[in-house]
Structure 1
């Protein structure tokens, strides 16, 4: 099964280069060769066919819950943070990697306060992590409700795009981030941050597109 994920990610990267950045046909062979080398390295180092071998996606470790909570607060901004005590309880569960418990608490929070944007974003994140990094219908619903609660917030689009990128859905992820940047007020901190991430991604893929045929360095 891990081979399916690895090959899928490689193909997703190639499709993104071709469709999003109009990768010239003349360099297709070079890029495919580079991706093939990457898969060969994965086969050599990862031992994907052995029992107990690591999969292509590694679930978030309990310690990573700290980073996820911090990222949510930073993207939302201090003026959009919830004062509901249930948010503190859910954050404690998130930091321990207990994502199902965090989701249960946040479900109560948004039921009490349907316009709580941080509650909906946090619920979406908890549901994604509970599903091992997969964007489930319930998680997407939560992020959409966050957008409805605060259309000006970048947080829902940021985390939706990030989740798609983690899944190897590069086209969907980049499209969502680009739309978020386009629809956001200029000169805001997180808009500029997201734009920089898009610029770095574009630069990397454009450099690959500019590679002469046969050059895989």
Structure 2
């Protein structure tokens, strides 16, 4: 089952960070919590119990990207149809072809610089192309999405997802808290975001070093 591979990768990541990179003990709890939170997020958005054969890391990453694409589309809603470039780029991203996806999205934002979804999708595609790293180019794409829609929670939410992938739980907390503040009280996804923000804050408190008196 895919859960076995995910848990194994999490264990390897923790061991590498804790012992290979000589991470200090006070940080162990926070790092482990971030891994657990990432698994919880996958359980919320993904389908970890679907049967399948063992896959390479790139295919697993593409499957995760597919879940993010589906959730992004649901947030923009059926009344907001994506551009043809976004539709094609999503197909590439679902196959793990993030470079091709980013190229189509660059065409999208050149054609319509006010396309919020294209900028958000570009940010996510650039993170995928960088193998999970939140690069300056990806941050710029999320910033451009915020310029287009200053009150939208979506750019902050997906940059927060990327920050968690990078391991920056503190940045994710700031972004998700701001996303929550910009989310309508009656939005369908608000309860889930409230729960995610609360869990992330609890994990950060758990990993915070004790203050000296």
**TM-score (norm. length: structure 2):** 0.67
1:181 alignment counterpart: 180
SS class of match (1:156)? helix
Q: CA deviation at 1:61?
A: 2.8
SS class of match (2:133)? coil
CA distance in 1, matches of 2:96, 2:190: 29
SS class of match (1:157)? helix
After superposition, the CA RMSD in angstroms is: 3.3
CA distance in 2, matches of 1:127, 1:205: 27
Do the aligned partners of 2:27 and 2:207 also contact (CA within 8 Å) in 1?
no
- Whether 1:146 and 2:145 are equivalent positions in the alignment is yes
CA distance in 2, matches of 1:139, 1:207: 29
2:168 alignment counterpart: 169
**TM-score (norm. length: structure 1):** 0.66
Task: Please list the CA deviations of residues 124-163 of structure 1 after superposition, one character each: whole Å capped at 9, or x if unmatched.
Answer: 0000000011111111111111111112321110111111
Aligned length in residues:
170
Q: Which runs of 5+ in 2 are unaligned?
A: 1-12, 36-56, 209-213
- Whether 1:133 and 2:136 are equivalent positions in the alignment is no
Do the aligned partners of 1:178 and 1:198 also contact (CA within 8 Å) in 2?
yes
1:201 alignment counterpart: 200
CA change 1:169–1:203 in 2 (3 A) is: closer
SS class of match (2:61)? coil
Do the aligned partners of 2:163 and 2:169 also contact (CA within 8 Å) in 1?
yes
CA change 1:102–1:186 in 2 (3 A) is: same
CA distance in 2, matches of 1:12, 1:117: 41
2:61 alignment counterpart: 61
Do the aligned partners of 1:110 and 1:120 also contact (CA within 8 Å) in 2?
yes
**Larger RCO (CA under 8 A, 6+ residues apart):** 1
Do the aligned partners of 2:26 and 2:207 also contact (CA within 8 Å) in 1?
no
Do the aligned partners of 1:185 and 1:191 also contact (CA within 8 Å) in 2?
yes
1:22 alignment counterpart: none
SS class of match (1:145)? helix
Rg bigger for which structure? 1
Task: Please list the CA deviations of residues 27-81 of structure 1 after superposition, one character each: whole Å capped at 9, or x if unmatched.
Answer: xxxx69x96xx9xxxxxxxxxxxxxxxxxxx665333332121121123333444
2:115 alignment counterpart: 116
